[in-house]
Amino acid sequence: MFTETPFIRRKRRAERIAQCFFAGMAAAMVIPLFLIIGYIVIKGAPAISWEFLTENPRSGGAKGGIWAAIVGTFYIVFFSLAVSAPIGVLAAVYLSEYARENWFTRMVHLAVVNLAGVPSIVHGLFGVGAFVYFANFNDGKKSIIAAALTLAVMTLPVIITSTKEALAAVPRQFREACWNVGATRWQTIWRIVLPNSISGILTGVILQVSRTAGETAPVMLTGVATYKLLESTGLFLYHPIRDQCMALSMHLYYIATQANNVPAATPYAIATVLVGVVLVVNAAAIVFRIYLRSRKKW
């Protein structure tokens, strides 16, 4: 062993300080998250009951539960996914399997990057101009379909990016082997590339669900009402074209800022449900991904 000169000692000390410093930086972001989420859950959990989840809101949201908002969020997520998942997957197939290195492909890449960067409120304005007034689904009024389409455009980059990664993870040899036995490009994609990347694609779709469920600003301009009095509590509360719906995210905003006489615990309970949904969905995607990585065959 060599002896420790002052120079080396100083170097070691700098190293230790740096390590603690960077660890502190990372901890400074992670710990507040736990504290805040923990605080919300502790304050909100007592107010969550079966009735809270399955009853419609009453008295302007002051009484009753959040069922109408849960169903509304489900509607929006469902319709938006039904539109954006196929388009996004096919767009990723184009980028990963068909696109050549030329200016057009670069434009598409640039468009995807910029689409992801457009502020959510501008997506909302686009939805108002394009789907509420131009497409005019509901006579110039907000509607679920307008909100769902707005979110579909907005979350398109999420699915394109994740699907592209999933497709890129399929080794090139698989494709070459398939071409060599005489398969066409599409046959290769359909029989080899997609089956081998379906799990990665699904992970992207799951992440998209969580992103869609939490969005507020665009849907509040295009299809979500702050409060809606509903009689029934079934699954089919809304007409997708003629109705506006309630949504969990908007309901939290409304209860936290505008509603009167709301019990103090209610907004915390809604926040707990919303965060719970989003985190569970994300955690599911992560577990799914880890599981897939562990059983990858190549």
Partner 1 sequence: MANSSEKRPSRGALALLSERTIESLIYVCGFSAIIFVFGIFFFVFKEGAPFLTKLNFTEFFFSKEWIPTSTVQPKYGIGALIVGTVSVTVVAMAIAVPFGLGAAVFVSEFCTGKVKESLKIIIELLAAVPSVVWGFIGLSVMSPVIIAVFHVPVGVNLFNAALLLALMSVPIMVSIGEDALKAVPDSYREAAVALGATRWQMVYRVLIPAARNGLLAAVLLGVGRAIGETMAVLMATGHAVNIPDSLFDPVRTLTATIAAELGETSHGSDHYQVLFLIGVVLFSITFVVNLTADLVVKGIRKG
Q: How many CB atoms lie within 10 A of CB 30?
A: 10
Choice between 101 and 231, CB closer to partner 1? 101
Q: Does 53 interact with partner 1 (rule: CB under 8 A)?
A: no
3-state secondary structure of 63: strand
Interface pick for partner 1 out of 157, 204, 223, 240 (rule CB under 8 A) = 157
Between CA 85 and CA 90, with CA 89 as vertex, the angle to 5 degrees is 120
* x-or-dash string of contact with partner 1, 188-227, rule CB under 8 A: -------------------x--xx-xxxxx--xx------
Q: Does 137 interact with partner 1 (rule: CB under 8 A)?
A: no
3-state secondary structure of 247: coil
Q: Does 18 interact with partner 1 (rule: CB under 8 A)?
A: yes
Choice between 125 and 292, CB closer to partner 1? 125
Distance from C-alpha of 184 to C-alpha of 179, rounded to nearest angstrom: 7
Q: Does 263 interact with partner 1 (rule: CB under 8 A)?
A: no
- Helix ranges (H only) for the chain are 6-44, 50-54, 67-93, 103-117, 120-127, 144-168, 172-180, 185-188, 194-214, 217-222, 248-257, 265-294
Q: Which stretch binds partner 1 (CB under 8 A): 19-27, 50-58, 162-170, 233-241?
A: 19-27
Choice between 30 and 235, CB closer to partner 1? 30
Give the number of residues written for the chain. 298
Choice between 22 and 229, CB closer to partner 1? 22
| Minimum distance of partner 1 from residue 27's CB (angstroms) | 9
| Minimum distance of partner 1 from residue 66's CB (angstroms) | 14
Q: Does 69 interact with partner 1 (rule: CB under 8 A)?
A: no
Choice between 64 and 214, CB closer to partner 1? 214
Q: Any residues with CB less than 8 A from the CB of 240 and at least 6 apart, and which?
A: 75, 79, 143, 144, 145, 148
